[in-house]
Structure 1
Amino acid sequence: MKKLAVAATAVLLLLSGCTDKQKANGPKEPVKEVEEVIQDEVENEIPYHYPLTGVGSETKTDGRAVAVIINNHPKARPQSGLHKADIVYEILAEGDVTRFLAVFQSEKPDNMGPVRSARDYYVDLAKGLDALFIAHGYSEEARELLERDYVDNLNGMVYDGTLFKRASFRDAPHNSYITYENVLKGAKEKKYSMDQSPPEFKFLTEDESKSVTGDEAKSVMISYSASGIFDSIYEYDASVGKYKRYSNGDQTIDHESKEPILIDNLFIIETTHQVIDDAAHKEIDLESGGSGYLLQKGKVIQVEWKNDNGVIVPVSNGEVVPFVQGKTWVNVIPTNPGLQSSVSFNVK
């Protein structure tokens, strides 16, 4: 809007400057052309943008984010609703098993799941986004946070069979689902506000996205397990300008619609992981910052990551690196073995 104000001022100055000349030389056609250009800019200005994707909208984009723990066990694939998430965080739970924290704000899926149990670091991520947190179960560390209302939350341990439904086509614990309608119903019951928007990420303009630079990164594999069951592979599809995702050789798609997961930003970070009990629960440092990769438009650059008031963002030379407008996937890997050992690129 500031740009439009400056442009409008320039037109007024141009018009006033031309008035005296018009008396002697008649009206100048270029003035009309400038007015038409400014009017076109005004008409083409998109008034709103979604805070977690940067995508423009003609209608208001405010509203609270919903963060859901989604199961990634092979018996839980394909999942429901992931294709509509603005951001997905993939992090280890126990052993080599990863789970997703799927954050929804710009799109509301009909059904989400299978929903799985919480860990404290997922809760912290939801807190940073001021999201309503959805899980079914918890570790002791997560339970302590949730029971003291560290974040607004709905948990299947309380609402199993009511807000959360068990699917007949899968076995427990891989069969708990919640609809977006029931999320809103639960929020209303607990008197949670759904009005406040999450903090905004920094995004490139569409023109800037066409000039993304970096090394070629047409394919990348992130290794979480020796078996490969929880490895994540991303393949760049130049025809759509996005990455497709695969687990254990199978493409990640939506269970109901069969739509593929399409990703605009792949943000890979490493941080320390420490096993803290006999159940192999982990303590994961999402505060201290560290090294990472950012993949966009088939290119990769090395970045650092930092925790900015609870939100994980890429940085370079002390400045936040903007995302491409669209959906983002964040893969968190242990410092040991680290980026060099866990991440491999194929430029072909």
Structure 2
Amino acid sequence: MKKWAVAVAAILLLFTGCSNSKETVKKPVNNEKSDTNQANKPDDVVKADPYFYPLTGIATDTKPDQRAVAVMVNNHPKARPQSGLNKADIVYEILAEGNITRFLAVFQSEKPTNIGPVRSARVYYINLAKGLNALYIAHGYSPEAKKLLDSNYVDNLNGMVYDGTLFKRSSARKPPHNSYITYDNILKGAELKGYTMKGSPPAFTFYSVEESKSLTGQEAKSVSITYSKDGTFNSKFQYDETLGKYKRFSAGEQTVDLETGDPILVDNVFIIEAVHKTIDAYGLRDIDLESGGKAYLLQKGKVNEVEWANKNGRIIPVKNGEEIPLVQGKTWVNVVPTNPGLHSSISFNVQ
């Protein structure tokens, strides 16, 4: 009996030791920030402790250290529908000349197979790409933009140099609305010119998923943005309650991807007012994207009147000097002239 009792006691002691060891071995908590992007993690991403894409706030299990690519995309009616816009993390829509808008589509979390039609560079688009440390892609340039590109102010690939090699012409459309570039050719061009494709862009600030469910503001189910009297370049964003995202329209027609037919869906619509100056007879513009000013921010079917600021080359929403978080997902930034002004260019519908 004594031997049996000793054996039982030994077994119990063994199990107790194993149990205690399991309780005391815990995953270490690492409070250090591995890079500045992690400082802007949404709360729910912090709790899950993965990485997140700096331009969308969406969690990922692997460190997103790839460089952003910023492509000039044509918005002429003959260039619609475009290719690749549905994969862009951020799209900037700005007047290029006259009443014609053009897009700067920024890719980092997703890589579209084909992008275009690609169009020519303008100085203010180049500056936006610079602020995101992006490889800048264009086909052509204004005189001032050419000076910047020739000075290597920003890493870039231009169709004026690589037409027919990195950039391909579509037989389905006529010039200048038929220049395209694949993501594979962007990588080939970067290697050819010795550009690194490592180094993620600086991160924006984002709400957690739970926080985005309780956003406040005025009801605004759609917003229309006037760029031209005939409506050719006017934009509209319509909130889809089921999807929880905004659908985009050009001149009343929904914006979709040429190859797949997938709709462009965005989570943040950020409309800013900036000083525009016409600098030549052709209608080229100089646009002040440095000084800040009035803005509207649409998220989850609601709109808030805010301000915009330029933070180290990035256009961000602010209120009382504090940066306003974005909803996790894709963002579309529309820039309108101070004349006629934000309130005259924008109309909302609460239905």
TM-score interval w.r.t. the shorter chain? 0.7 to 0.9
Do structure 1's residue 211 and structure 2's residue 206 form an aligned pair? no
Do structure 1's residue 59 and structure 2's residue 62 form an aligned pair? yes
Q: Provide the C-alpha distance between the structure 2 equivalents of 1:187 and 1:257, rounded to a whole number of angstroms.
A: 27
Amino acid at match of 1:296: Q
**Partner residue of 2:189 out of 186, 190, 200:** 186
Q: Which residue of 2 aligns with 1:127?
A: 130
Q: Which residue of 2 aligns with 1:278?
A: 281
The 3-state SS of whatever aligns with 2:112 is: coil
**Partner residue of 1:172 out of 172, 175, 178:** 175
Alignment of 1:126-165 (within 5 A): 126-165=129-168
Q: Which residue of 1 aligns with 2:272?
A: 269
Q: Provide the C-alpha distance between the structure 1 equivalents of 2:348 and 2:339, rounded to a whole number of angstroms.
A: 19
CA contact (8 A) 1:50 1:62 kept: no
Q: Provide the C-alpha distance between the structure 2 equivalents of 1:185 and 1:157, rounded to a whole number of angstroms.
A: 16
CA contact (8 A) 1:49 1:61 kept: yes
Do structure 1's residue 302 and structure 2's residue 305 form an aligned pair? yes
Q: 1:208 to 1:147 in 2, by over 3 A?
A: same
Following superposition, the deviation at residue 43 of structure 1 comes to 12
The 3-state SS of whatever aligns with 2:187 is: helix
Root mean square deviation of aligned Cα: 1.9
Q: Provide the C-alpha distance between the structure 2 equivalents of 1:43 and 1:340, rounded to a whole number of angstroms.
A: 38
Q: Which residue of 1 aligns with 2:246?
A: 243
CA contact (8 A) 1:54 1:201 kept: yes
**Partner residue of 1:102 out of 96, 100, 105:** 105
**Partner residue of 2:202 out of 196, 199, 208:** 199
**Partner residue of 2:75 out of 50, 67, 72:** 72
Do structure 1's residue 345 and structure 2's residue 345 form an aligned pair? no
Q: 1:336 to 1:43 in 2, by over 3 A?
A: closer
The 3-state SS of whatever aligns with 1:127 is: helix
Gap regions ≥5 residues in structure 1: 1-31
Q: Provide the C-alpha distance between the structure 2 equivalents of 1:51 and 1:42, rounded to a whole number of angstroms.
A: 12
Following superposition, the deviation at residue 278 of structure 1 comes to 1.4
Amino acid at match of 2:256: I
Q: Which residue of 2 aligns with 1:17?
A: none
Q: Which residue of 2 aligns with 1:82?
A: 85
Q: Which residue of 2 aligns with 1:27?
A: none
Q: Provide the C-alpha distance between the structure 2 equivalents of 1:309 and 1:44, rounded to a whole number of angstroms.
A: 28
Q: Which residue of 1 aligns with 2:33?
A: none
State the TM-score, normalized to the length of structure 2. Answer: 0.87
Q: Which residue of 2 aligns with 1:314?
A: 317
Alignment of 1:43-54 (within 5 A): 45-54=48-57
Deviates more, 1:169-178 or 1:273-282: 273-282
Amino acid at match of 1:272: V
Following superposition, the deviation at residue 255 of structure 1 comes to 0.2
Runs of 4+ in 1 over 3 A off after TM superposition: 41-44
Q: Provide the C-alpha distance between the structure 1 equivalents of 2:263 and 2:45, rounded to a whole number of angstroms.
A: 36
Q: Which has the larger radius of gyration?
A: 2
Following superposition, the deviation at residue 339 of structure 1 comes to 1.0
CA contact (8 A) 2:45 2:208 kept: no
Q: Provide the C-alpha distance between the structure 1 equivalents of 2:201 and 2:230, rounded to a whole number of angstroms.
A: 37
Q: 1:322 to 1:43 in 2, by over 3 A?
A: closer
The 3-state SS of whatever aligns with 2:65 is: coil
Amino acid at match of 1:299: K
Gap regions ≥5 residues in structure 2: 1-21, 30-43
CA contact (8 A) 1:78 1:253 kept: yes
Do structure 1's residue 112 and structure 2's residue 112 form an aligned pair? no
Amino acid at match of 1:107: E
CA contact (8 A) 2:45 2:52 kept: no
CA contact (8 A) 2:221 2:349 kept: yes
Q: Provide the C-alpha distance between the structure 2 equivalents of 1:228 and 1:148, rounded to a whole number of angstroms.
A: 38
Q: Provide the C-alpha distance between the structure 2 equivalents of 1:320 and 1:42, rounded to a whole number of angstroms.
A: 19
Following superposition, the deviation at residue 338 of structure 1 comes to 0.8
CA contact (8 A) 1:69 1:115 kept: yes
The 3-state SS of whatever aligns with 1:230 is: coil
Q: Provide the C-alpha distance between the structure 2 equivalents of 1:261 and 1:176, rounded to a whole number of angstroms.
A: 21
Q: Which residue of 1 aligns with 2:32?
A: none
Q: Provide the C-alpha distance between the structure 1 equivalents of 2:45 and 2:208, rounded to a whole number of angstroms.
A: 17
State the TM-score, normalized to the length of structure 1. Answer: 0.88
Q: 1:43 to 1:339 in 2, by over 3 A?
A: closer
